[in-house]
Homo-oligomer: A and B are copies of this chain.
Amino acid sequence: MLYIVGLGLGDERDITLKGLDTVKKCQKVYMEAYTSLLSFGLSANGLSNLENLYGKPITLADREMVEEKADDILREAVQHNVAFLVVGDPFGATTHSDLVVRAKKLGVEVEVVHNASVMNAIGICGLQLYHYGETVSIPFFTETWRPDSFYEKIKQNRSLGLHTLCLLDIRVKEPTLESLCRGKKQYEPPRYMTINTAIEQLLEVEQNRAESVYTEETECVGFARLGCGDQKIVAGTMRQLKNIDFGAPLHCLVIVGQTHPVEEEMLEFYKV
């Protein structure tokens, strides 16, 4: 049996009782380390806190391992109880559909333990989840690659009065260009997009496309370390948020659409 267990957003105590029961009955415990490593894993502390709580060792599974060795993990799950731990919810912002599909094809039963993800926890700012349109991803721009497909989606959402959640780029264990050429594995240092960079990129695209989808005066909400003890949530215009130091990752950004009175009242508490 393969158990995919959501850990929630903050720290080791955000696992559910059901999740903890599940981990305790597993012979082998993997933890995904390629999206949100940060909250629980990046610090050596994070990982040992989890191991202490579970009373057993955890194998960190980075992107490479999950992609290349999924079948090994799944073969273990034919015989044993295997837990695959995921920050947030197993099917939140990052989905693990691929692992589930492979498991089911191998005849391995899969059970999911849900938890909070950024996709629902953003509700805390008061903007109602059912007033959101399509979620967009903002990738890091490079000298030569400045994709702006998010612009069209934001335009659609705004034309309907809807809020837009912008997920910001995470680059963990990206092979260096040099290593790709040489066939030798070397990795870029991890990078996480800040709210500041996201807003700069958004404004650059608006300047180029000039369809007045949003301006520097458009209301947004910036979220840093959502669900953690030291989370920072600030509402303000793009111009205001652009210069705020939100601190350590992860960051995400909401572009506010039309608001209802109760939404307005809640947002007030987060205003710059």
**Could you list which residues of chain A lie within 8 angstroms of chain B, going by C-beta atoms?**
6, 8-10, 12-18, 20-21, 89-93, 95, 97-98, 100-101, 104, 112, 114-117, 119-121, 123-124, 126, 128-137, 156, 160, 162, 167, 227, 262-263, 265-266, 269
Chain B contacts of A126 at CB under 8 A?
91, 95, 97, 100
Q: How many copies of this chain sit in the oligomeric assembly?
A: 2
> Is the beta-carbon distance between A115 and B115 smaller than 8 angstroms?
yes
> Is the beta-carbon distance between B124 and A91 smaller than 8 angstroms?
yes
Q: How far is the CB of A23 from chain B (nearest CB, A)?
A: 12
**A195 to B167 alpha-carbon distance, docked (Å):** 32
Chain B contacts of A13 at CB under 8 A?
16-18, 21
**A228 to B173 alpha-carbon distance, docked (Å):** 36
> Is the beta-carbon distance between A129 and B134 smaller than 8 angstroms?
no
Of B114, B262, B265, the contact of A8 (CB 8 Å cutoff) = B114
> Is the beta-carbon distance between A227 and B92 smaller than 8 angstroms?
no
> Is the beta-carbon distance between A115 and B112 smaller than 8 angstroms?
no
Given contacts A97-B128, A130-B135, 14 further A-B contacts (CB under 8 A): A8-B114, A8-B115, A10-B18, A13-B17, A15-B17, A90-B124, A92-B123, A97-B262, A98-B262, A100-B266, A104-B269, A130-B136, A133-B133, A156-B160
Chain B contacts of A17 at CB under 8 A?
12-17, 20
**A133 to B131 alpha-carbon distance, docked (Å):** 9
Chain B contacts of A97 at CB under 8 A?
126, 128, 262-263, 265-266
Q: How far is the CB of A93 from chain B (nearest CB, A)?
A: 7
User: What 10 A-B pairs are tightest by C-beta distance, nearest first?
Assistant: A91-B123, A130-B135, A114-B116, A13-B17, A13-B18, A120-B120, A101-B265, A117-B120, A119-B120, A114-B121
> Is the beta-carbon distance between B137 and A130 smaller than 8 angstroms?
yes
Q: How far is the CB of A264 from chain B (nearest CB, A)?
A: 10
Chain B contacts of A116 at CB under 8 A?
6, 89, 114-117, 120
